[in-house]
Structure 1
């Protein structure tokens, strides 16, 4: 059972069949914090109020099922791209919003929503993991960490496969602090290839309550850097020792 205060939202387990929980005209740090602590996320639609969802089924990435192809593992072992945390959050979310993707038009990350995620970052709840080649940002991912649970929001790349590298390093870092899974909301073909899958809403909320009870803290908050190959090598050694 989730033991977080609920001032703004109805019980998300009573959402409509499409997952809609609530609508609002405005955003705030308080709304975002409460929504994520209850597994609810904003999904703006053009010419509509802000819509808040808790879909059934729900996409998750279980770290015990995280899959890397042989060719990608080989790439990671020799990848000297640099990993940084939270050094350019604004650039990451802007790239996620505006980078053109094959077969897609528009973005769900509106200017209004983007501005509030930037505030959420400055408040310590939204985070970016960035992939750099020398001094050029070539890919990244951002997400939200609230009450011991991480929700991945969006990722981008300017050089392949930088977004996949960002996701892999994120999983490694989240495992280090004791997390066993992350919320991905929807399972895209890309995330499915890494092991993403859907679970029933009821099971999702059981997992969320368990994650909150563990009270894990997201430690790699300060800007720091390390090569991808170094991070992956340490992760591989630890897994072998287990």
Structure 2
């Protein structure tokens, strides 16, 4: 990684459009830092860059090409999920809670078992950094709750009219899909055209996500950051799921 920029606390990120792959042997990796410095995460997202690394590694900053994205209008709400939504809406003991306990959702994402993965990229440093973003109003959680128990959810990052999906978890069938369906419905209501999903997976593709070139993604991000109609705090409940029925 000799051509990769090592960033100090005040160093700017390289522009992914101008120097997209400084080391072709590691496509999408644009910079490295010893830690996540204050303010660095916010600057990164607004340039279409995100951290992804493991414990005992330096912080690796990525801008992949292509970029997996989900257009909220393209979310695939299959008949089985519609049935789950109907049952969910009709049960007063079940709820969607937005930004109620951000730390609990992140911890659940970090400890969720995932097929073909050992461990998690959600380190303690990641938890602390995203919690700080949450405190600043730029990171959000959507929790699916049943009888007072957290059974699924997701957390994401938002700047302007751009939402960046980070991680989901599910302790019951379709619980994470309920959270994503709620997010997509809310994004549709607020004219948010795209949710960043970062990297391609078969699961995301099954839900309607598709790859997009880095150039097109970054140009969309540049324009979406100017969108100002999103009010804080985020306030919606499970009734938003009726959008899909």
TM over 0.5: yes
Q: Which residue of 2 aligns with 1:3?
A: none
2:19 is aligned with 1:8: no
Tell me by how many angstroms 1:180 deviates: 1.1
**Distance (Å, rounded) in 2 between the aligned partners of 1:177 and 1:29:** 30
2:202 to 189, 195, 199: 189
**Distance (Å, rounded) in 1 between the aligned partners of 2:108 and 2:46:** 26
Q: Which residue of 2 aligns with 1:121?
A: 134
Secondary structure of the structure 2 residue equivalent to 1:160: coil
Tell me by how many angstroms 1:215 deviates: 2.8
2:217 to 204, 208, 232: 204
**Distance (Å, rounded) in 2 between the aligned partners of 1:100 and 1:218:** 34
1:29 and 1:119 in contact (8 A); partners too:
no
**Distance (Å, rounded) in 1 between the aligned partners of 2:119 and 2:56:** 14
Q: Which residue of 1 aligns with 2:78?
A: 69
**Distance (Å, rounded) in 1 between the aligned partners of 2:11 and 2:188:** 31
2:177 to 161, 164, 168: 164
2:84 and 2:174 in contact (8 A); partners too:
no
**Distance (Å, rounded) in 2 between the aligned partners of 1:102 and 1:36:** 27
1:166 to 1:198, Cα distance in 2 relative to 1, 3 A:
same
Which stretches in structure 1 are left out of the alignment for 5+ residues? 1-5, 238-242
Secondary structure of the structure 2 residue equivalent to 1:8: coil
1:186 to 1:51, Cα distance in 2 relative to 1, 3 A:
same
Q: Which residue of 1 aligns with 2:56?
A: 47
TM-score norm. by structure 2 comes to 0.86
1:76 to 1:182, Cα distance in 2 relative to 1, 3 A:
same
Secondary structure of the structure 2 residue equivalent to 1:213: coil
1:145 and 1:218 in contact (8 A); partners too:
no
**Distance (Å, rounded) in 1 between the aligned partners of 2:109 and 2:38:** 21
**Distance (Å, rounded) in 1 between the aligned partners of 2:229 and 2:118:** 37
Tell me by how many angstroms 1:236 deviates: 4.5
1:39 to 1:168, Cα distance in 2 relative to 1, 3 A:
same
2:140 and 2:156 in contact (8 A); partners too:
yes
TM-score norm. by structure 1 comes to 0.87
Tell me by how many angstroms 1:218 deviates: 4.8
Tell me by how many angstroms 1:70 deviates: 1.5
Which stretches in structure 2 are left out of the alignment for 5+ residues? 1-9
Question: How do residues 1-242 of structure 1 correspond to structure 2 at under 5 angstroms?
Answer: 8-13=12-17, 14-16=19-21, 17=24, 18-79=27-88, 80=91, 81-221=94-234, 226-227=237-238, 230-233=239-242, 235-236=243-244
1:192-241 residue CA offsets vs partner (Å, 9 max, x unmatched): 1111111111111121122123334254525x6x33xx3222x257xxxx
